[in-house]
Every structure is written in structure tokens, then in C-alpha cells.
Chains A and B, each alone.
Chain A
Amino acid sequence: MDWINAAAQGVLLGGFYALLASGLSFLFGVMRIANLAHGASVVLSAYLALWVLELTGVPWFVTLIVVVPLIAALGWVLQLSVLNRALERGGLAPILVTFGLAVALSSLIQELFSADSRSIPAPGLGEASIAVAPGLAIGVLPLLTFGIGILVIVVLQLFLARTRLGRAIRAASDDASAAQLMGIDTKRIFALAAALAMATVAVAGVVLGLRTQFTPVYGNLVLIFAFEAVIIGGLGSLWGTLAGGLILGLAQTIGAQIFPGYGVLIGHLVFLVLLAARPSGLLPKAVTA
């Protein structure tokens, strides 16, 4: 039963990693930007939710109404003001810009909210669990996290596959100057993509805040887990990122079952082994030259 329990917890944890990684994966898939400010943006969203909650006293899920549009708007503005120009320069410019953003964001968070570790209070949610079988209980919060993770990825994927704007994003991603010849304003389409990526970042940030104690520099850890999930799954593929998150989650919980206390380390090792064995990931987006 211990092993089944570890596997179940691993799958649920994997859903959380997929949620953490979805914005990173989406932004990379569309624009080939490795967003080093991803983790800091997740943590900023968590602090923002906490601030709204303390200011108004609303339950945690209501904070999403404020945090998601605000962080999405931040993505829109950053893309139009800075990242589009960095993309035109090409080479190292986008990665340097996001690195600068990451540093600036964590310093800003520290200035505004102090370096104390915090979490988003959700009375009862952290402890609640459902007994599935004797000896196997599933926490409500991990289950909710898993559901949100799957939902975010499915919605993003459906948007890309089925809608006019999703199609325009894919076309601009394939060939931006050809997309302009089709009447697509690629700068605005990329801004839309950045806004969507940051909307998922906002959701991930609120969920993170519910699950764990966070500090202004917690984004570094988030960035590492998110990168691992994205790279295991294959760069640019959302389904791959979901698979990558699940593998990382399972590796950590099953690893902890074998070597108690070393779960995170086992997760990193599994990532390194997979990176060596399958450098292009499990479900790589078929990249064209």
C-alpha cells in the first residue's frame, strides 16, 4: 500500500509541476523565449493574492479574479514594451532581458513584502482528505491542484488548436513575417500569447501559495522544477509538459519511498538521466527549420 500511496501522491504532485511549468512551456513553444523570470512571476502572483486576501478578507479563490488579470496584463505590457524588441535582436537578448526581470522582480517583492516566509491561508483545505481505500487517503488540496493543472493545459491546448486567435498564434510562431502577410499583427499576437502564459503563471502562483511556505527567492526553485518538467516532456509541447510534470512528481515521491528524505534529489537525477537518454524530450514539438 505504501507504494500505491507514493504513486498516487506522485501523480498529484506531477499535476502541480505541470501547472507550474505550463506558462514556461507555452511561452517557449510560441516564441522560443526561455523565460528566466518565470519563477519570480509565480511568486509575485502568490504575494499579490496574499495581499488581496489580507486587504479584503475574501476567500483564497476570489483572489484569482484580481491576480489573473493583473499578471496577464503584466505579460501583455512586458511583451509589447520589451520582449518584442528583444526578439527582434535575437540571440541572447531575450534571455538577458528575462534574467534582468527575474532579478528586478525578486528584489521588488522583497522590498514590498519583506523576506519573511509566508503562505496563503485556506482554513481546512490543507488538512482535508478523502479516504479512497484503507490506508490510502488523497488530500483535497493536492487533488484540486492536479485538477487545475490538467484543466489549464487542456484549455490552453484547445485554445491553440480550435480558435482563430490560437491559429494565428501558431502561424506567427511558425513564421512571423509570413503571418504578417496574412494580416496578422504579430506583435499583438505575441502579446496575447504572453498574457495567456502569465495568466497560467498567476493561477500557479495562487496554488503554490496555498500549498507551501514561500519567500521572495522561492522562484528559483519553481524555475528549476518547471524547467525540468518542460525539458523532460520536450520543448514547446504542452502535452509533453504534462507528461514531464507527472514523471518528475512520480520520481520524487517514489524516490522518497526508497531513500527517505532524498525525493527531490532523486527527481533531479531522473531528470538528468532522461536528459542524457532523450535530449529532445518525450513528446517534442516537431520543430521545423
Chain B
Amino acid sequence: MNLLDVTGLDSYYGDFQALYGIDVSVAHGETLAIIGANGAGKSTLLKSIAGIVVPAHGAIAIDGVDVTRLPAHRRVTAGIAMSPEGRRIFPSLSVEENLLVGGHARRPGPWTLDRVLEKIPLVGDIRTKAGRALSGGEQQAVAIARALMSNPRLLLLDEVSLGLAPVAVEKLYAALPAITAEGTTVLIVEQDVNHALAVADRVQCLLEGRTVLEGPASRFTRAELAAAYFGLSDGSH
């Protein structure tokens, strides 16, 4: 059985339909990258899974248990955690307090404050800093570490590289294997295809709210992915 099964998802962003009958499955321990251009519906998909966006139709199940109608805070208890778009670090809390808030649901598991600080050195170095004083790269590292504190079965990462310097992105992606090594299943949304492919087992490309390509990350050439990404592929190969 898959850890995550999304079936026939229609979601709206205001009056605009962002997703058209999307299916997504993620197996236990797998890393899936959802790629696509701006406005393809990637973030809406992730928000629907996290429970911030309520889908119009379709179902979302974790380990076969339907969570479609569960509010966002109860999905954390069910094992879904998200590092959101924009990072959303609590500005008046210190880094350590941000992490402790991430563990609010008290789900048992391998990730404790000490372990997160040890395994993600980027965060360990700034634990006493105030949330509002962080650089973009630091914010992103804290957002990922904070999501881990709930010991999620499924970790949702939204636009890790967006707006960050290449050096900072390299460091963040270098920390990901330490996370997946604990058995955490990861669903990553990226505009930066190269980074997404480097860590993903499987890739799914969205275009205007529909899946245009899906399969093992190693199966596609860059040209095929680029064509799918920009919607240039209609019937040409």
C-alpha cells in the first residue's frame, strides 16, 4: 500500500481552477518530485495535501486512511508535515522555539530537538537567533527542521530553492539525504528541475493543473522534461 494516495483532485485557487483531476501516489520511503512552471498547480496540490486548501472533489488518503476532510492541524497528528512556501518562520520566536512549536503535536519518532540540531548543522549553529533575524537560507533550513520535529511520515517541501542563493540551495539539498535515511517519505515541489531530479526517485510534471509526465527520475532526458515543463511536447515525440 502507498503512503500517500491522491485521487481525482480538483482544487480551486479563488475562482480559478488550479487542479484538474490530479492523481498522486507516493510509496513508503520514496521521494517524489513534483515539477512544473509557475502556476502549474504544484503549490495548490501541496496545500491540499497539508489541509490548507480544501479540494472541491477527490480524495486524499494516508496509508489508506482518508484525510480529505481533516483540518490542517489534525493532519500533523496523522503524520503530514509541511515546510510551506515562504518558509513562514515565527518571527518573534527563537530558532529553538520555532523547532519546539514544530513538535507541538508530540508525535513520537526519531526526531527530537537534539537530533534535529545535530543532523542539520545549518540549524544547530543558529539555535538562539530570533526568527525575524534569519537569512533566506537559514529560514528554509529552520522550516524543514521544524517540519521534521513532528516526526512526519510524509514531509512536504514547497519550493525549497525559491529566492535563495545557489550556495544556500546546495547546502539545503546536501542535508536531505540525512532526512530520507530516517525513512521519512518526501514529496518535494520545485521549479528548479535539476535539484529536484538529483534527490527524487520519481518525478511528476504538472502543466496547467494536469499531469503531463510521470515516472522514475532516471527515465527521462533533460529535453523530455523541459518539453513537458513548458508544454512544448504535443505529439512531437
**A residues apposed to B, CB below 8 Å:** 164, 167-168, 170-171, 173-175, 177-186, 285-286, 288
Across the interface, do A186 and B73 meet the contact criterion of CB distance under 8 Å?
yes
* Cross-chain pairs A/B with CB under 8 angstroms, 10 sampled: A170-B90, A174-B131, A180-B73, A182-B101, A183-B104, A183-B150, A184-B104, A286-B92, A288-B91, A288-B92
Closest 3 CB pairs of A and B: A183-B76, A183-B105, A178-B88
Residues of A within 8 A of B101 (CB): 167-168, 171, 179, 182, 184
B79 → chain A, closest Cβ, in Å?
11
Across the interface, do A180 and B71 meet the contact criterion of CB distance under 8 Å?
yes
Q: What is the CA–CA distance of A180 and B77 in the complex, to the nearest angstrom?
A: 11
Q: What is the CA–CA distance of A177 and B146 in the complex, to the nearest angstrom?
A: 15
B100 at the interface (CB under 8 A from A): yes
Residues of A within 8 A of B50 (CB): 181
B52 at the interface (CB under 8 A from A): yes
Q: Which of chain B's residues 182-211 have a Cβ closer than 8 Å to chain A?
A: none
B122 at the interface (CB under 8 A from A): no
Residues of A within 8 A of B93 (CB): 167, 170-171, 174
B72 at the interface (CB under 8 A from A): yes
B34 → chain A, closest Cβ, in Å?
18
Known pairs A181-B88, A182-B73 / 19 extra A-B pairs, C-beta < 8 Å: A164-B100, A164-B104, A167-B100, A167-B101, A170-B90, A170-B92, A173-B92, A178-B90, A180-B51, A180-B52, A180-B71, A180-B72, A181-B73, A181-B81, A181-B82, A182-B104, A182-B146, A183-B74, A288-B91
Residues of B within 8 A of A186 (CB): 73
Residues of A within 8 A of B23 (CB): none
Q: Report the nearest A residue to B76, measured CB to CB.
A: A183
B160 → chain A, closest Cβ, in Å?
16
Contact A181 to B132, CB < 8 A, known contacts A164-B104, A174-B92, A288-B91:
no
Across the interface, do B84 and A181 meet the contact criterion of CB distance under 8 Å?
yes
Across the interface, do B91 and A178 meet the contact criterion of CB distance under 8 Å?
no
Q: What is the CA–CA distance of A178 and B139 in the complex, to the nearest angstrom?
A: 14
Q: What is the CA–CA distance of A262 and B47 in the complex, to the nearest angstrom?
A: 60
The A-B contact count (CB < 8 A) is 76
| B84, B90, B97, B98: residue with the most chain A Cβ atoms closer than 10 Å | B90
Chief secondary structure at chain A's binding surface = helix
Across the interface, do B52 and A177 meet the contact criterion of CB distance under 8 Å?
yes
B interface residues, how many (CB within 8 angstroms): 28
B110 → chain A, closest Cβ, in Å?
17
Residues of A within 8 A of B81 (CB): 181
Q: What is the CA–CA distance of A206 and B92 in the complex, to the nearest angstrom?
A: 34
Residues of B within 8 A of A181 (CB): 50, 52, 72-73, 76, 81-82, 84, 88
B154 → chain A, closest Cβ, in Å?
13
A105 → chain B, closest Cβ, in Å?
32
Residues of A within 8 A of B52 (CB): 177, 180-181
B101 → chain A, closest Cβ, in Å?
5
Contact A286 to B132, CB < 8 A, known contacts A178-B88, A180-B52, A182-B104:
yes
Residues of B within 8 A of A288 (CB): 91-92, 132
Residues of A within 8 A of B41 (CB): none
B137 at the interface (CB under 8 A from A): no
Across the interface, do B72 and A175 meet the contact criterion of CB distance under 8 Å?
no
B58 → chain A, closest Cβ, in Å?
21
Across the interface, do B92 and A182 meet the contact criterion of CB distance under 8 Å?
no
B102 at the interface (CB under 8 A from A): yes
Across the interface, do A183 and B73 meet the contact criterion of CB distance under 8 Å?
yes
Q: What is the CA–CA distance of A164 and B99 in the complex, to the nearest angstrom?
A: 12
B84 → chain A, closest Cβ, in Å?
6
Q: What is the CA–CA distance of A164 and B100 in the complex, to the nearest angstrom?
A: 8
Q: What is the CA–CA distance of A186 and B73 in the complex, to the nearest angstrom?
A: 8
Residues of A within 8 A of B76 (CB): 181-183
Q: What is the CA–CA distance of A186 and B74 in the complex, to the nearest angstrom?
A: 11
Contact A182 to B102, CB < 8 A, known contacts A174-B91, A177-B52:
yes
Q: Report the nearest A residue to B149, measured CB to CB.
A: A182
B35 → chain A, closest Cβ, in Å?
23
Across the interface, do A175 and B90 meet the contact criterion of CB distance under 8 Å?
yes
Q: What is the CA–CA distance of A184 and B104 in the complex, to the nearest angstrom?
A: 7
Q: Report the nearest A residue to B91, measured CB to CB.
A: A288
Q: What is the CA–CA distance of A36 and B32 in the complex, to the nearest angstrom?
A: 51
Q: Report the nearest B residue to A174, measured CB to CB.
A: B90
Q: Report the nearest B residue to A165, measured CB to CB.
A: B104
Q: What is the CA–CA distance of A186 and B52 in the complex, to the nearest angstrom?
A: 13
Across the interface, do B73 and A185 meet the contact criterion of CB distance under 8 Å?
yes
Q: Report the nearest B residue to A179, measured CB to CB.
A: B101
Q: What is the CA–CA distance of A181 and B50 in the complex, to the nearest angstrom?
A: 7
Residues of A within 8 A of B51 (CB): 180
